[in-house]
Every structure is written in C-alpha cells, then in structure tokens.
Structure 1
C-alpha cells in the first residue's frame, strides 16, 4: 500500500500528532483533521467531513471524545459511508479495549467493504502525562473508581507506530491488533512507579463512582463527567486484566514498558509541580 495522501482525524490528539509527525518525517503526504485544521473537521458537523476526505487514500480515525460515547456508532457509520463514496481505500480505527460502543464501531468498519485495520488499545500510559490525570499527578493524588483492578498500560508511542504501519503497509489490512503494555499493574503500582521516577510521592486513592462523578462534574461539567465515569465503571471490572500481543504481531518487537515511560516523562520535567 502506497497511499498518495493520508488523512489523520484527531491530528492534535495524543495519537494523532505522533502519527502526523512520523508520516511527515517519512515523506508521506498528510492531511491533519481537527476543528482548527484547513479544511476543518468536526465529528459533530457531518458537513465538514467530505472536504476533509476528498482526495484521500487512507484515513486514521480517532473519535472525540471517546468511542464509549452514545453517539459514536452513528458518527462512525456516517463517516465510513462518506469515505466509501469519496473513494478512500483503507481505514485505520482507534478502538478501546473492553468497550461495548467501541466494539460496535469496529463492526461498522469491518462491515463497510473497505480495507481496514482495527487498533484496539488498553489504558494510555500518557493519560498520566498529557491527559486528564496530569493535574492529579502534579497534585500528588490520583483518585479513580478503579479499585485494585490491574491494567496493562500501553504507551501511545506504540499505538502510533502500529497505526503508521497499518496506514502504509497492506500487510496489515484486515487485521485486529489488541495493543497493551508488557505487564499488568494496578493503579497503586503505577503510582508507585511514577513516584520512584519523579522523586516525590504520588498516591492512588480508590473512590466510588458517584464520588468520582461529582468531583469531575465540578471541573468538566456533567456530560463529560457522565461519559468518563460510565467508561470507568465499564472497563474497570477486571475484563482488561490480561495482556494483548498486537505490538508484537504488528511490529515484531516487544511493547514499551511502563517503567521506561515513567523515566522518560520524569526526565522531561512534566511531572515537576
């Protein structure tokens, strides 16, 4: 597969900006799609989709805010139909491990008739350094409704590497890659590793879902608080407490370890209060 032009939907997000950087550095023609791109792309405004997809050969799809959102399947279905009409040949969908709506979206892409690759991932390690958990990490306490569940945290750099391979090499067509890190850690384990790397105490507190929802509502509003609380309730029941081998299958190497992620972030200064 040698795409003439690649669309990266969510080009300013954790995975998207890494994918754009890699593809551009390799000499590919890349169109980044976001609300501020030219042309603009907005998941809530289907009228913006055709212009972003026009002339595109392969597209990476990262849905905002998350495929766990109730409206995600309809949006993915609409975008896939638009892509097919405009001659897009290959789709790479970023999906969530253990999420009912995400797996519904996978089925939509799988049944589209288009060449595709499904990239199903566990909890991002970079949520602690670039996402909604950075502020709690800086404050010294991570509070989540995750109990003692274990999670195989995946490094976003691994996700980007797999997505780039899937966008540029036809050998990945038709594949489902389940991406995780190389070992299971509880959130208390993760906090301990971040503490060791950062040189200061970062604790973890297990909270009830309703307490988590109430606290989150104060900072991000009820809609996002409901979405994220419901997602946590869904996936933190132990269903993801196992390893996937998508990195090994797609790239022929081991996934990056959480300890290495912690050391890299700590050295960058991001975790300095």
Structure 2
C-alpha cells in the first residue's frame, strides 16, 4: 500500500479511534473524520465528501452506526473511486451463522460491485458494549435487563477489529476477503455480567426481560419506537441462537486467536471501566 492517507470514517467511534491510534503508531498518514473536529465528514452533507477524500488511498468505511441508506453509500463509493481511492475496508455486521446481516447486506453488495480493492469485516456484538456505552449504565446500576433470554453471543473485542482493519488498510493480501470477526467462544449475557461482577466486586445481575417490557422501557426513555423495535429484534436473534457461531476471521487475517471476553473484562476492569 502507498503512503497516501487513510481516511478513517467514524474516527471517534469504538473501532475508528482504535484504527487511528494504530495508524499513528505505524507512522502511516491518516485523516480522522467525524462530524466535528479533525476532518469533517457527514454522509448527509455531500459537501464534506470531496475534501475528506482528496488524496486518500484507502478508506475505513463505517456506515452501520449512522443508519445510512445503501444508495448513499453507493454514491459515496462512486465519489471515492473518482477521487482515486483504491482500497476500502468496510465494518459490517454478521447475521446468523456468519452470513451477511440483512440490514448490512445492501451496503456489502454495493462495495463488492465497485472496482475497488475491498475487504469486509462482519463483526459480532462488541465486548466493549459492556463498558463504553450501550450496557454501561445498566451495569453500573446493578442490573442488565434484556430480551436475550439465555442466548449466547461470541462477543468480539474492538481491539481485534481494529487490528484486522488496520492490517487490511495498509497491507496487501486482504483484498476480496470477508472476515467474520468474533471472540473464541459464545458467552451468555448472564455469564458476561457474572464475569464483570466477579472481577470488579460490583454486584450486577442479569434479568431476561420480555420483549414488550424492553421496548416499553426504551420508548419511555425517549428512544424512537423504530429504534427500540430494532434493538429488540437484534437481541431476540441472540436469544434464538444466532450469536453462537464462532468466526475464524481474526485467525485468517492475523494468524492468531481472538481475545476472549474474559480477557476483555480483566483489561477493562484494570482500566477502571466500571469504577472499581
């Protein structure tokens, strides 16, 4: 890969900021893009696309947290091609059995239809959801209540995602690859909070909640009904066994095993994630 800058979208997000840190350590030029600060980028503001893409050789594409329509991503990819971008690494999400997530599949297809060097990262649920936003407040309050039953998910460490993404962005040999990124074993939410409780000494319990009570609680907090329904649907997939599958993407991309959820908990606890 040339020394052209890597455009990192979502540079303040869980994986984006980790990719930026790795590129910085490597001494590889990059552009940290977000809605504010650094390089300004917003999928909804096409005037930001050109300056962000100018001179970039590769793009770390993170549309999933933005709920960006596939047509918009397709338009962006066309703009990237015109700007001379050669390589795109897409952070996607996995569906049942490691297949494409139905919500992300149109974006994957749009990327694969380009003439760019593409790599797709189909990630499991992030281990960091327990310590950085999604589940943090419930854990600090002492109860995580979700409609996931006793289903298990092979939670992936965002550090592993960033390692694979960085390798695919700056090294050859990853073009045309679809990497399913997960942890080494599936873990239930009950077991996950028990691990956190044991390591931190903080009492935390998991409650398997009915879907209707979960969505009602979210909407009462001001979450739009469609977003509450989507969250319930995704957690329901875990309840029904969709998260059990263990992917081999970290091993194929990096030649090592992925980090375990237990390793994540120890590292996060040592950093004071849960206030211990």
Q: Of residues 253, 262, 274 in structure 2, which corresponds to 1:259?
A: 262
> Would you say the 8 A contact 1:43–1:64 is kept in 2?
no
> Would you say the 8 A contact 2:153–2:238 is kept in 1?
no
> Would you say the 8 A contact 2:88–2:118 is kept in 1?
yes
Q: 1:178 is matched with which residue?
A: 180
Q: What is the alpha-carbon distance in structure 2 between the residues aligned to residue 64 and residue 111 of structure 1?
A: 19
1:63 equivalent in alignment to 2:66: no
Q: 2:70 is matched with which residue?
A: 73
> Would you say the 8 A contact 1:72–1:101 is kept in 2?
no
> Would you say the 8 A contact 1:58–1:89 is kept in 2?
yes
SS at match of 2:179: strand
Q: 2:250 is matched with which residue?
A: 247
Q: Which runs of 4+ in 1 moved over 6 A?
A: none
> Would you say the 8 A contact 2:237–2:243 is kept in 1?
no
Q: What is the alpha-carbon distance in structure 1 between the residues aligned to residue 71 and residue 196 of structure 2?
A: 38
Q: Of residues 148, 152, 156 in structure 2, which corresponds to 1:154?
A: 156
Deviation at 1:2, TM superposition (A): 2.7
Q: 1:209 is matched with which residue?
A: 211
Q: What is the alpha-carbon distance in structure 2 between the residues aligned to residue 211 and residue 44 of structure 1?
A: 34
Q: 1:111 is matched with which residue?
A: 113
> Would you say the 8 A contact 1:10–1:64 is kept in 2?
no
Q: What is the alpha-carbon distance in structure 1 between the residues aligned to residue 44 and residue 238 of structure 2?
A: 25
- Alpha-carbon distance change, 89 to 164 in structure 1, aligned in 2, over 3 angstroms: same
Matches within 5 A, 1:33-72: 33-65=33-65, 69=67, 71-72=68-69
- Alpha-carbon distance change, 252 to 188 in structure 1, aligned in 2, over 3 angstroms: same
Q: What is the alpha-carbon distance in structure 1 between the residues aligned to residue 238 and residue 42 of structure 2?
A: 27
Q: What is the alpha-carbon distance in structure 2 between the residues aligned to residue 117 and residue 39 of structure 1?
A: 23
Q: What is the alpha-carbon distance in structure 2 between the residues aligned to residue 8 and residue 204 of structure 1?
A: 36
Q: What is the alpha-carbon distance in structure 2 between the residues aligned to residue 228 and residue 62 of structure 1?
A: 19
Deviates more, 1:213-222 or 1:25-34: 213-222
Deviates more, 1:153-162 or 1:96-105: 96-105
Q: What is the alpha-carbon distance in structure 1 between the residues aligned to residue 22 and residue 154 of structure 2?
A: 25
Deviation at 1:209, TM superposition (A): 2.3
SS at match of 1:143: strand
Q: 2:98 is matched with which residue?
A: none
1:221 equivalent in alignment to 2:227: no
- How many correspondences in the alignment? 270
- Alpha-carbon distance change, 231 to 48 in structure 1, aligned in 2, over 3 angstroms: farther
Q: What is the alpha-carbon distance in structure 1 between the residues aligned to residue 150 and residue 257 of structure 2?
A: 26
Unaligned runs of 5+ in 1: none
SS at match of 2:40: coil
CA RMSD of aligned residues (A): 1.7
1:91 equivalent in alignment to 2:88: yes
Q: 1:11 is matched with which residue?
A: 11
Unaligned runs of 5+ in 2: 96-100
